Structure 1
Amino acid sequence: MPSADTVTALAGVLKLPVGELLELRRIAAEETGTASAGVSGPGRPIGQWDPHELEVHPAGPGKGPSGADGVRALPGYARREHDQVLANAVTAAATGRSQIVVLVGTSSTGKTRACWEAVQPLAEKAWRLWHPFDPTRAEAALEELHRVGPRTVVWLNEAQHYLGDRKFGERIAAAVRQLLLDEERGPVLVLGTLWPEYAHHYTAPPTPGGDDPYSLVRELMAGHMVSVPDTFDTAALTAAAALAEQGDTLLADALTRNQNGGRITQDLAGAPELLRRYEQPRQAASRALLEAAMDARRLGTGLHLPKAFLTDAARDYLSDHDYDLLTDDWAEHAYAELAEQVHGKQEPLRRTTPRPTLRPPTPTTDAVTTPQTSAVPVFLLADYLEQHGRTTRRHLCPPASFWYAAHTHLTHPEDLNNLAKAAKGRHRLQWSHHLFQRAADHGDPEALTELARALVEAGDLDGAETLARQAADHGNTFALYLVAELREEAGDRDGAETLYQQAADHGDTGALTYLAVMREEAGDRDGAETLYQQAADHGDPDALIHLAEMREEAGDREGAETFTRQAADHGCTNPLAHLAKMREKAGDRDGAETFTRQAADHGDTYPLTHLAEMRKADGDWDGAETLYRQAADHGDTNALNRLAEMREEAGDWDGAETLYRQAADRGGTNALTRLAMRREEAGDRDGAETLARQAAGLGGHDALARLVMVRGMAGDRDGAETLARQVTDLGGTYALTRLATLLKMGGNRDDAETLYRQAADHGDPDALTHLAVMREEAGDRDDAETLYRQAADHGDPDALYLLAEMREEAGDRDGAETLYRQAADHGDRDAPYLPVEPSDIFNRLWPYGLDPDGTPTSPWEPSGSVELREHVPPRPS
């Protein structure tokens, strides 16, 4: 087989088209199996390149669409407008016409990745790719450009290194232009990328009489530059979201941080370096600042973090050794390090200036005002690091310096409130109290209410009432209700009524309704009706409902209907349903139907379906069906399901299926699930699976999970397990967990444990907890403890409580308390599966709360004040 150089030389001597001869050589090489033999010219087949070798930025740790681990993963690719220009150039090159395209965009906007994606069709056609790089980019390009043969992509990423070179740039531009014009060496595709400032510099016309150092570069790029936008538009975001839904975790993570206005590629490109800068800082103080910022954001502060707060907060994040090494100017050095940019023009922690809030002038201000900005330096944490902190630090309670700095430097009531709640959720009760007080000092009504609640719990009703009135003065009347209810429970009806009246005086019309209820219970019906009417006049529909019920009980049906209609006009349909029930019970079927239809006209179909059920219970199936159809006509999908069930009970399977399908067409996954179960019962397993998958496609994965259970209970272990795995592939690990539970209940503990482990491997922390329980029941306490801890690390805090209970039952009270303390550090949460509320456990163990380091807090009084010590070097306790 002759080499490509030999064929090119022969073509020149014989005056034959070099492109055709090289194509014949390629075909002959493929037919004889020697396609790789005798290949000459720079570059290598496109398929042999790794995209990162061509300077495509890694997209951060995690898994790409292929599931591969490591920082070299690439996310899926969402195409944008410039991709079509590249595709057109690739098509032209593939058909024999040499092309050049230079993508122009700011750092990390996806230029290089776009070029890589564009050349993939050429890889299938055995094209080569050459990336001139050694000894320098410019020298390599100038030395080898004359050797580039047909069907080659010339890769000029960061083209300023080639075209902008002071010594060789113009010569390289001339050589590239000659390559594009030389038909005997074509076709070739030249791809380049540039930042806008370079493109502007190279293409700017020369000044009269001045030098023109880029004349050939300007001529080469004229008409071949394509802009790459900084952000994803709506179409690109939609495409990225679709890839994320298909399992692309890198894109999914980036989209969760899309508050940056669609800067997806910058986020992905900067993530690895941001993480490295956090994990491997030049100085420990830099990491301390980042961790203080991470904790502030995950516990609820706003985006803009004051410098003074971060500086003081960071101290206890340092070890004693690192703290002793701090210099007087440590903060300035740390902030300077964190201000250095990474890819995508991102900084780990950057100083920012919040935009001023612009509002129309009030009558007391000048027509034109100058917006004032805060003189306090504030900083913004990189989105990626914020998200990283929420994941990796979720189980940690910040140290004392954090809480002290928040109390000392933060002034925004919402920040203080959120941190106070976070402290309370972690049983740091004393700091919670002081942060609420700090927010209350700024007039925050929510903080005043929380402080009032604390005094109520401490039995200080008078102090609570004082704070409740202050909160009401600032627009929050909830605390007044709280104290009023306690007064009422204590028999102080006058005191309760006074507080309700105060709430009403602050514009809370609901308080008038409470007062009216108290008058009604006391037998003062006239007074109650007057208050109800006042509340109704202030727009409280609940008062109209009470009035309607009072008139109905008094036999004034016309008055009851009047108030009911008024309530409906205010958007409240409950009284219509109530009157419909009363009419039905009284035998007034026409009146009942009238009110149900009125409710339906107001958007509430429940009265229609409820009345239909009453008719069905009385044996009036025709009447029930009529009402169900009316509800369905008003958009109630569940009414179609009820109709289908009636058809089933009557033995009309075809009619039932028709109605179920109508419900499914309206998005009713329950209907598809019911159909699937019917098909399964009839022995049509394929039909059942098809319908269940249709339901899953609409978001109703429960249909497949129910099939798993049905087949498992029927003894079809293999069929159930196969289906469970399919559900898992769709993202629902619960099917495996349910099947494992079913096997466990049936005594098949070994297989149950196997399935639990498989579900756990797919990310289900509940499965780990189930496994831990099984190991504990089997007496393997060590393995159970390991699994409980794994479950907690994977997001199931219940596991810590269960492990603590295990320790308590074994008599290890100290070990149990340690675990409960770790659970407290996770923060407040609902615990529906635990027999005791976490707060009850914490209050039993530590009635005064915990200090930030986890030690029990010394006795203190919520109404008292605790002296706060200044937190500056030397480090205080």
Structure 2
Amino acid sequence: MNPDQNAVASGSGIVVQAGRDVYLGGGPERKAGPPGVALADALVSGAEAYEVHPALTVGSTPTEELTAYVRRTFDDRLAGIAASARDGACRMAVLVGGSSSGKTRACWESLHSFGAGWRLWHPLDGEQLVEGLKAGIAPRTVVWLNELQRFLVREEEPRWRAAAIALRGLVAAPVEGVLILATIWDEHDRWQALTGPPPPGGPDHYAQARELLRRADVIPVAATLDAGERARAEEAAQSDARWAVALVEDRPIPFLAGARYLVDRYTTGSPAARAVLEAAADARRMGMPTVLSLAFLEQAARDYLDDADHDRLPPGVGWVRHVIETDVRVGGFGVPGPLRPSGSGYRLADYLENHLGRRRVAVQPRDSLWSATVDVVPDTAVLSTLAEAAMRRGRFGPATRLSARALDLGDLGSARMLVTLLENAGEHAEALSIAERAGLDRAVERLRRKIDDGDTGFDLSLWWVEAEEGTRENGEELVWDDTLDAFSARLDDAGDDLAAAERIAVEAAAAGYLWPFFHLAVGREEVGDVLGAERLWRQSIAAGNVFRVLNLAELRGDAERTWRFAITADGLPADGL
């Protein structure tokens, strides 16, 4: 074991080796039995229990029966990793691709290569993962980490960081025969967030996750079929009618997972159904947990249904509960509904979450969503995440209320953003009181000086300090890469077709690139199209670039008011916090 492995496995005091098992924070006396179930029993229980998408039903094919598996090109590499684990190695395979691209199904099929005596462990979140490692991982165990972001993406919180540290210890320790199977979307806020370089001079939230994934075998998974895969799929279609139907589509694998059906349920749904699904999708992209409670959805969805559509609803009915129970939770064609029961709440289908997340990336969440998070969410980590999401979208009022709620619940870390928002709004006395309570010495000194000097003016330096963090300047990427170059070329091809150019900018924003909005807005300003420029600045802000509030304010001529309080959900100047 090299020195770095020693530091992870034992030097940190978090993971130690005891015989052939791995324990966290102590020796065998903490062991409560190895986590997981016999792999043979797991295979009998069925793939859906392990989050493999059920396929569409065509004709008389039973709903519970998976489609014939078409071997993918990457399966050979996955098989080699599995064989290495069977031979006694400890390996981690991470399948990276879009939603419904076949990642989880490929992992499921690989389980059939393991013989008797193997176990399968399926922790549901980072806390279960850490607790299971405390119990000790037995040799000959497959650890099933579908949607790896559920365990690692919020590593800035100790409980998520602990999961990354624990997995590093497991990979580093010489446990005989362990395979960690993980899948993750290739989104900029998931895979790219975990593996990209840390911001220069800023906090490195994902150092532990980055080191873990550096040791993993990363397998890209495309949503499309190559020539060899399509030939095998055509052969499968001879005996499986679902493949015959799917091969008519450009992306047959997402189609089989119900993608077309789910999108159609959204686009052709009633206004009330679309309101609930949009509220759920916005909640997820702002940072709400996977499972959303009914109480949250009932409050969050209110502003997503306009008055005219609300007046058409049956009187005396709790419309959100009604539309969930009678519409969006109901499935068809062998596919569960768009909003599925899960634990103590509901979970948005992951393909629809991905689809609506991209489609709505430049759309502001409605006020009722922010109000619901303040009133319903008790988790300070979630509140802080949502506060930052609101702030980055120019919603200073909701960000202030979310930060204040987190502070009231005991999270002193939320005080920094709250102080900045209050100071920015000129509420110096209130900001000083909170800064003193949280021990923010530099803010205390600055605020006392402003109060003593009677300084009530707007302090633009608060914005520029933030702008210097990371690899961005005023929210735009400084590094020009091949992907951004491709978006730039497409904008050039769009020419004077502004609608097409805006669609490209939205697509770029969904991939994490906000420069196209800046480029188009500046172009509109140069030709005197004030309304067009304003629309583009609002979209850039909604996509998470708070610095464009400055451009919007200057364009409108109401700079100080907008700088202090930012904007409403409709992009208008806010009257206060």
TM normalised by structure 1 equals 0.28
Question: Comparing both structures, which one devotes a greater share of its residues to strand?
Answer: 2
Quick one: higher RCO (CA 8 Å, sep 6+), 1 or 2? Answer: 2
Query: Greater Rg, structure 1 or structure 2?
Result: 1
